[in-house]
Structure 1
Amino acid sequence: MTENAYHFPGTVYFDMQPAAGGEPYRIFLFTPKGEPPAEGWPLLVTTDGNATFPFAVASLATQAPYPTGTNVEWGVVAAIGYPGDEPYDALRRAWDLGPPPIKTYPPYFEGGPPVRIGGTGELLDFIERQLLPHLDGIVKIDAGRRSLFGHSFGGLFTLYALFDRPGLFSNWIAASPTIYWEGSEILNNEARRADMKGRRIFLHLSAGVHEGDALAPFQSRNPDAGTRLEKKKVERTVALAQEMAERLSRRRDGIRTAFEIFPGQTHMSVLGPAVNRAVSIAFEVVGRDA
């Protein structure tokens, strides 16, 4: 019996060097077969690409062939990750996805490098000035149907990007966003957000039910149950996301919002359902018969 490496049809990856310097990003790309619609393919961009890309492509590939049953049609997935085989690059994602102010934290492990946050503007520049134009040169994209997804720190980045450059995407999907981070500094970004009137913007916020006030049943049996419960009281992931969705919906300045709780999910297990929801939002059948 011969073992062979598995390759998901329609997928490639390539590395892109940021114009501002620094280490390259690894871009994972899925493009559908056939000719794009006249206006171009819808696009879903995800952060933490090494982890999120497999979920997104599998979700799209199993639903898009059956649009009348799923309300999902084909589109392009571009996931921003890092060279390497690990699902997460903890140091680089801290810098890329953690909004200003620029700060340095102690190493994740003894003897390791310090952890820096505050580089979200650089990643946003890369997306706007390099990634999106590069994708447009590869495949025809519908500029009116671009979506951004992020989870955890990626969800925080999604909110930062929305408040800073709302014209980049029409759908913004923030799963389990770390709104509490740095004393909920992101709320200041929300308060001084860019003008969104006249834009077609949809913000979907979500969290797993076990990111609320109570531990998951299996977590309560673990030795770190007490510490984990105290951490939940600080993070308030469910409450802060729901409050933001409700607050923005009342302000009527161009943002439609939705908030969703995923049953049975913790902060990490929610990634699969959240990416699946991002696929259903980004590639919803719109404007023509399925």
Structure 2
Amino acid sequence: MTPLAEGGPDHAGTRWFDLADSATGAARRIFLWAPPGAAPERGWPALWLLDGNAVIGTAVDALRAQASWPAGTNIGPGALVAVGYPTDEAYDPFRRSWDLGPPPGRSYPPFHPGGPEVRTGGGAEMARFLLEDARALVAARLPLDPGRQALFGHSFGGLFALWLLFTRPGAFRDWIAASPAITWEESFLLDHLARFDPAGHAPRVHLSAGEWEGAELAPFQRDAPDAGERLARKARERTVAAALEMAGALAALGLETASEIYPDETHMSVLPVAVNRAIRWTFALDRAA
């Protein structure tokens, strides 16, 4: 596929491509990084990351630093593919609400006065772009091992990753959902879990959250004017409890599953920690370890 625009290499060799969705025409940015040298015979193992603008720099630095000393890290080389948007900001909140919100979705008030109505429910559109358009663009530029590909998502991205696992379990081998918004929109994701059939696939799933996504506020939040509102929201979202319950449910179905609660991390501070764990989960040389 021909991109609308492209740039790089920058940041240790990262390239980017703005690609129009073949069905809707909406542009998304794909960041691509691979180690120097020839790819293995089967192609590079690859970690795909949602919210690409926010995570690609962290992922590149973490992988290239650790893969350079495999005896000390158990991490081998691989490729990174991150999907985001044509912006210099870390996020495009309006676009990601639509793209990472699985269907059917709902409508919400604008983020800012006078702004457009916020909609969720475009996950099927994003899934098609990810699995068809983005994969075609990457395949034309970099050989990837089809049997060693992983998907990472945080927050709404974690919700999207779990929904895609339940609807397309063979799309990736490894699935990493950090702080997934499992209870979003009345926990509709649990209906997908109830119908989930791995259909002969053997996905590996890693779920995580930060310590301060549980029932308690982080120390620096406890005396804030909105502390009561934050506590009420935590009670509704149940991020830690829902992630652990999901891990238990998937393990009961026979999936290889791991769960972690990262100490002293909030919903946003957990992001670089979770990205690093996704790298370990994806590129481990001794998988049994």
Taking structure 1 as the reference length, the TM-score comes to 0.94
Task: Choose which of 14, 20, 24 in structure 2 pairs with 1:21.
Answer: 24
Equivalent-residue separation in structure 2 for 1:118 and 1:181 (angstroms): 12
Q: Could you list the per-position Cα deviations for residues 121-177 of structure 1 after superposition, in whole angstroms to 9, with x for gaps in the alignment?
A: 011101111111221221111111000000000000000110011111000000000
Give the match for residue 139 of structure 2: 136
The amino acid across from 1:70 in the alignment is T
Give the match for residue 221 of structure 1: 223
Q: Aligned residues, how many?
A: 280
Question: Over aligned residues, Cα RMSD in angstroms?
Answer: 1.5
The amino acid across from 1:244 in the alignment is M
Give the match for residue 162 of structure 2: 159
Instruction: Report the CA distance shift for 1:75/1:52 in structure 2 as closer, same or farther (over 3 A).
Output: same
Give the match for residue 96 of structure 1: 99
4+ aligned runs moved over 3 Å, structure 1: none
Is the Cα–Cα contact under 8 Å of residues 9 and 15 in structure 2 kept in the other structure?
A: no
Q: Does 1:231 align with 2:233?
A: yes
Q: Could you list the per-position Cα deviations for residues 161-199 of structure 1 after superposition, in whole angstroms to 9, with x for gaps in the alignment?
A: 100111110000000000110100001111122x31432
The amino acid across from 1:273 in the alignment is V
Query: Structure 1 unaligned runs (5+)?
Result: none
Q: Does 1:50 align with 2:53?
A: yes
Taking structure 2 as the reference length, the TM-score comes to 0.94
Offset at 1:7? 3.2
Report 1:1-290 matches (<5 A). 7-193=10-196, 195-252=197-254, 255-285=255-285
Equivalent-residue separation in structure 2 for 1:191 and 1:27 (angstroms): 33
Report % sequence identity. 50
Equivalent-residue separation in structure 2 for 1:197 and 1:165 (angstroms): 9
Query: Structure 2 unaligned runs (5+)?
Result: 1-7
Equivalent-residue separation in structure 2 for 1:240 and 1:102 (angstroms): 20
Is the Cα–Cα contact under 8 Å of residues 35 and 64 in structure 2 kept in the other structure?
A: no
DSSP-derived class of the 1:99 partner: coil
Q: Could you list the per-position Cα deviations for residues 98-140 of structure 1 after superposition, in whole angstroms to 9, with x for gaps in the alignment?
A: 1111321111121111000000001110111111122122111
Equivalent-residue separation in structure 2 for 1:141 and 1:44 (angstroms): 10
Offset at 1:23? 2.0
